[in-house]
Amino acid sequence: MFAVLIDQFWSLTIAGVALGFIYVLVSLGYTMVYGVLRMINFANSEIFMWGTFGTIVTSRDIFGYTQTSAPATGPKLALVLISQLLMSMAVAGLTAVFVEFVAYRRLRAKGTNRLATLISAIGISIVLSEIMRLLTSSRPVGSPRVLEKIILTEVWGANIRLDTIVTIFAAALIYFLLERFVKLSRMGKAIRAVSMNEDAAKLMGVNLNRVITTTFLVGGLATGAAGFFYITVFEYTKFNIGFTMGMAAFTAAVLGGIGNIRGAFYGGLFLGLLEVYASAVLGTQWKAVTVFVVLVLVLLFKPNGLFGEAVQTTRA
Amino acid sequence: MNKKIQRSLAVVSAAALVFGVAAAQTSANAAPKTVTIAYQGPLSGGEASTGTDEQNAVKYAIKLFNAKNKATYNVKLVSIDDQGDPAVAGTVAPGIGKNKAILGVVGPAYSGATIASLPFYKAGGLVLISPSATRVSLTDSASPDFGGPVFHRVVGKDDLQGPALAKYATQGVSNAKVFVFDDQSSYAVPLAGYVKGGLAKVAGATVVGTDSVPNTTTDFSPTIAKIKTSGATVVIYTGYYSQAAVFIKQLRDSGSKAIFAGGDGVFNQEFPKLAGAAAEESRVTGVGGLAGVSAALEADYKKQMGVSSGVYSVESLDAANILLQGILKGNTTRAKMLAWVKAYNGKSITGNTIKFSANGDISYGLFAGFTTKNGVLVNTGIVK
């Protein structure tokens, strides 16, 4: 039973960390919006899906890569990858702002109850996914290979592959930049102020609408970056991939303590590793069961998630 | 709908109007009789491409029939969208069961949706000919899923495909060490079982590992870790092509050179397109497509429908043709149509004889082996 885990431990760990970082970035989309609005942005999963398509459109339609063309090298490689990343972030960021305008802003201005916003967010997520379904005739879309998956070296029997290394380091960098932004910038401080006490922040002259839009934008940018890494590693997307990813990222956010950026980080990594180890040891059919058993156990003992208390005390 | 089809339909209907008027002037009471058949399968949702491909083949058959018999019959098609989902099928089937205008159904496409629909069709005496529901229990009179007397299918059952896939996957491999995994669907799990049964009869082959992976998975690294630990030389997947494409890329990227094989769920030209070079030399069992039957037929299909034929197009055409021939013979009530299908003895467009057993199965069920060569699944002949 544990033979696979022992034999392939480092391969699994690297794969789990790469997957975990993708989860981290998508959970940021959930956790930041929750921090400010105390509401789940159910459309975040579709924002992610739109980001993946942004990535593919860039390499396939703008740079003209096909399934059979050779991977890029040198400066061209950097140019294509960075364009893909920026496009994915732009598409996802704008979609997130659009979601905020359509599903949240007006309802908030009218002072409707929270459930109405919840439904409008679910509604817009269905619209986003159906639009993509119609555009792609329900078919999966493969991504041309831009970054060659070279095996760089072998460490303790595990292949260190270029795409996983790029994903891990670049995603960690993006996370770090976002965390700094929220911690140090003026806008970041405003976001945290609204998160702690909306009324007090308003009284202090914080422009609430601008803070909320920025939060959606930043969450969307993180989610879009995740879309880029997802395509670079898995080279595949479909109109309905958002659901599984959204479920996992939401779980990661809750596991780490929703509303808390550090919580998303640890929750995402923990979930990525847990999924991979559980699949290898118990069989992939037990992956979801294991994840949710662990989630329930964590919530039993730490009802606010692993890092939820930090938020609770600051809010009290 | 495709613009081209729309335009050509407009031309056809305009032409029909003109000729219709001309015909009405010459013979006053020769209005063609309108009869209705239905297609049931996933037309929206994640599996919509399968349903759309099948329904297009049914539409093609009807188009040819209506053009040929425009003086006597005008066949209309009702689309029943069950999303391939038993829960949805259970909500749409009651209305179809009661709608006596519908004489017969091509479908349902999926086994699970078939089981959910059956009670309503049995009650309405509505004959079904499925092009793709392969679950064995549907034609097993001892099973609660048994679809008789209304259910028929023009596709081979999983208990024929499983052994064929096992043989084809291990062809030319001595002492094959086989890793079998499925996508947890009601199609894939039983098929994996029949594959394992088939492997037991292949000399020297052993099953060295198994897994069951949700069909929403994109990260296959745990499964690949197991394959590597097991030392498998052959990997058989019983799910669908889109996941297979994601998996095979990851398997090849991990450095594994094991033979990859899949069943008719993987049998789709989109598979090598999605997976690119990683799909080369993959072995897939399936039923031959329209192009494999006749290039001329495929060309005409593309001309008439504006798109190439897709999965199960041969089976869907055969199923539709059985109902259409029944209409031509004047079987325009449900009871007569059911009796017609039960007693049917005719030819498939592949040349095989279609004749249903008492439980609704066809007598043949030959599976062809396909190997990916230069990005295309190439037919290597019937697996024997």
B212 and B243 part of one domain: yes
Q: Does residue B19 sit within a domain?
A: no
Domain that holds residue B68: 32-156+292-351
Cβ neighbours around A293 below 10 Å, total: 12
pLDDT average, residue stretch B55-78:
94
Q: Residue B357 domain-assigned?
A: no
> Do B72 and B51 share a structural domain?
yes
If pLDDT is split at 50, 70 and 90, which confidence band does B380 have? confident
The answer as to whether B361 is a domain residue is: no
**Are the beta carbons of A140 and B273 separated by less than 8 Å?**
no
Q: Are residues B193 and B92 in the same domain?
A: no
Structure tokens at A9: 């431990």
Domain of residue A232 covers 3-315
A1 vs B32, higher pLDDT: B32
A241/B218 CB distance under 8 A: yes
Domain count, chain B: 2
Report residue B259 as tokens. 């033979």
Reading the block at residue B221, the tokens are 């690294």
Q: Both B308 and B375 in a single domain?
A: no
Q: Chain-centre distance of CA B366, in angstroms?
A: 14
Instruction: Say what the pLDDT of residue A309 is.
Output: 52
Residues B316 and B58: their CA atoms lie apart, in Å, by 6
B264/B304 same-domain check: no
Q: How many angstroms away from the CA of B255 is the closest CA of chain A?
A: 9
pLDDT value at position B97? 94
Same domain, B104 and B39: yes
Give the three-class secondary structure for B176: coil
| Whether the predicted pLDDT of A38 surpasses 90 | no
Using the predicted structure, report yes or no on whether residue B60 has a pLDDT greater than 90.
yes
**What's residue B28's pLDDT?**
43
Q: What is the mean pLDDT of chain B?
A: 88
Average pLDDT over residues A32-40: 87
**Tally of CB atoms within 10 A around A222:** 33
Closest residue in chain A to residue B275, using alpha carbons only: A142
CA–CA separation, B376 and B384 (whole Å): 22
Q: Are residues B244 and B375 in the same domain?
A: yes
| B181 contact residues in A (CB cutoff 8 A) | 284
Q: For position A8, which CATH number holds?
A: 1.10.3470
Split at pLDDT 50, 70, 90, the class of A140 is confident
Please determine, for residue A194, whether its predicted confidence score (pLDDT) is greater than 80.
yes
Same domain, B341 and B207: no
Looking at residue B356, what is its pLDDT?
A: 93
A6 CB-near residues (< 8 Å, 6+ apart): none
For A23, other C-beta atoms within 10 Å of its C-beta total 30
- Does the pLDDT value for residue A262 go beyond 60? yes
Residue type, B240: Y
A44-57 and A9-37 helices, crossing angle to 10°: 120
Confidence of residue B21 (pLDDT cuts 50, 70, 90): very low
Task: Give domain status of residue B27, yes or no.
Answer: no
B303 CB neighbour count, 10 Å cutoff = 9
Same domain, B274 and B298: no
Average pLDDT of every residue of chain A:
89
Instruction: Convert the pLDDT of each residue in A276-303 to its tens digit.
Output: 999 998 888 898 899 999 999 988 988 8
Q: Which residues of B touch A56 (CB under 8 A)?
A: none
Q: What is the pLDDT of residue B58?
A: 97
Which amino acid type is present at position B319?
A: A
| Cβ atoms of B94 and B119 closer than 8 Å | no
pLDDT, residue B4, reads: 53
Taking each helix axis from N to C end, the angle separating A208-234 and A44-57, rounded to the nearest 10 degrees, works out to 50
Give pLDDT, residue B30.
Answer: 64
pLDDT band at B29 (very low <50, low <70, confident <90, very high): low
Least confident of A123-127, A139-143, B29-33, B158-162: B29-33
Same domain for B172 and B110: no
Residues B282 and B300 in one domain: no
What is d(CA A252, CA A13) in angstroms, rounded to the nearest whole number? Answer: 17
Predicted ipTM > 0.90:
no
Same domain, B306 and B324: yes
The pLDDT of residue B24 is 43
When pLDDT is averaged across residues B126-155 and rounded to a whole number, the result is 92
CB spacing of B255 vs A240 below 8 angstroms: no
| pLDDT tens-digit map of B319-330 | 999 999 999 999
Q: What is the mean pLDDT of residues B142-154?
A: 93
Which residues make Cβ contacts (< 8 Å) with residue B193, sequence separation at least 6?
B162
pLDDT tops 90 at residue B273: no
**Domain holding B140: CATH number?**
3.40.50.2300
Domain count, chain A: 1
Between A312-316, B13-17, B254-258, the lowest mean confidence (pLDDT) is in A312-316
Q: Where are the beta strands (DSSP E) in B114-187?
A: 127-130, 151-153, 177-182
pLDDT tens digit sequence for B299-319:
999 999 998 888 889 999 999
Which residue is closest to A158 within chain B, CA to CA? B254
Q: What is the helix (H) or strand (E) element at residue A21, kind and residue range? A: helix A9-37
Q: What is the pLDDT of residue B17?
A: 45
pLDDT of A70 > 90? The answer is: no
Asked whether B316 and B109 are in contact (CB, 8 A), the reply is no
- The answer, yes or no, to whether residue B157 has pLDDT greater than 70, is yes
B190 preceded by a cis bond (ω within 30 of 0): no
Please indicate, yes or no, if residue B360 is contained in any of the structural domains. Answer: no
Candidate from A3, A11, A142 with C-beta closest to B245: A142
In this structure, which amino acid lies at residue A13? T
Whether A151 and B242 lie within 8 Å, measured CB to CB: no
Find which of B1, B44, B55, B221 to mutate to test the A interface (most A CBs within 10 Å of its CB): B221
Contact call for residues A236 and A53 (beta carbons, < 8 A): no
**Facing residue for A12 by CB, picked from B184, B222, B246:** B222
